[in-house]
Structure 1
Amino acid sequence: MSMKECDHHKGAKRRAFRRVFCCIVVFLFIVLVTILLIWAILRPTKPTFILQDVTVYAFNATVPNFLTTNFQVTLTSRNPNEHIGVYYDRLSTYVTYRSQQVTYRTAIPPSYQGHKEFDVWSPFVSGNSVPVAPFNFVGLGQDQANGNVFITVKVDGRVRWKVGAFVSGRYHLYVRCPAYISLGSRGNGVFVGENNAVKYQVVQRCSVSV
Structure 2
Amino acid sequence: MPGGSFRSDKGNPAPAPPPPRPDNQHQHHQTRGPLPPPPPPHRVAPRAPVPPPPPPKLRRGCCCRLLCCLVLTIVTLAVLLGAAALALYLAFDPKAPRYTVDRLAVSAFQVDPTLTARARFDVTVTATNPNTRIGIHYEPGSDLGVWYAGTRLARGALPAFYQGHRNTTTLQLALGGQVQLGGAVVSAMQDAQRTGAVPLLFRADVPVRVQLGGVKMWKVTSRVKCDLVVDRLMDVSSSSPIKIKTSDCKFSIKL
TM-score by length of 2: 0.61
User: Does 2:239 align with 1:172?
Assistant: no
Q: What pairs up with 1:1-210 in 2 under 5 angstroms?
A: 33-89=83-139, 90-103=141-154, 105-128=155-178, 130-183=179-232, 191=240, 198-200=241-243, 204-210=247-253
- The alignment partner of 2:232 has SS state of coil
Larger strand percent: 1
Pick 1 or 2: higher relative contact order, CA cutoff 8 A, min separation 6.
Answer: 1
Once the two structures are TM-superposed, the CA of residue 204 in structure 1 deviates from its matched residue by: 3.3
The runs of 5 or more residues in structure 1 that have no matched partner are 1-21, 192-197
Determine the structure 2 residue equivalent to 1:4.
none
* CA–CA separation in structure 1 for the residues paired with 2:233 and 2:249: 25
Distance 1:136 1:113, change over 3 A: same
Give, as a single letter, the amino acid of the residue that structure 2 aligns with 1:181.
V
- The alignment partner of 2:184 has SS state of helix
Determine the structure 2 residue equivalent to 1:5.
none
Larger helix percent: 1
8 Å Cα contact 1:147/1:184 also seen in 2: no
Give, as a single letter, the amino acid of the residue that structure 1 aligns with 2:175.
V
The runs of 5 or more residues in structure 2 that have no matched partner are 1-71
Instruction: Provide the aligned length of Structure 1 versus Structure 2.
Output: 179
What CA RMSD, in Å, does the superposition of the two structures yield over aligned residues? 2.9
Select the structure of larger CA radius of gyration: 2
8 Å Cα contact 2:106/2:233 also seen in 1: no
Give, as a single letter, the amino acid of the residue that structure 2 aligns with 1:175.
V
8 Å Cα contact 1:52/1:202 also seen in 2: no
8 Å Cα contact 1:85/1:113 also seen in 2: yes
- The alignment partner of 1:137 has SS state of helix
* CA–CA separation in structure 2 for the residues paired with 1:88 and 1:202: 29
Deviations 1:120-168 (A, max 9, x none): 111111113x112432222112112223311112111111111111111
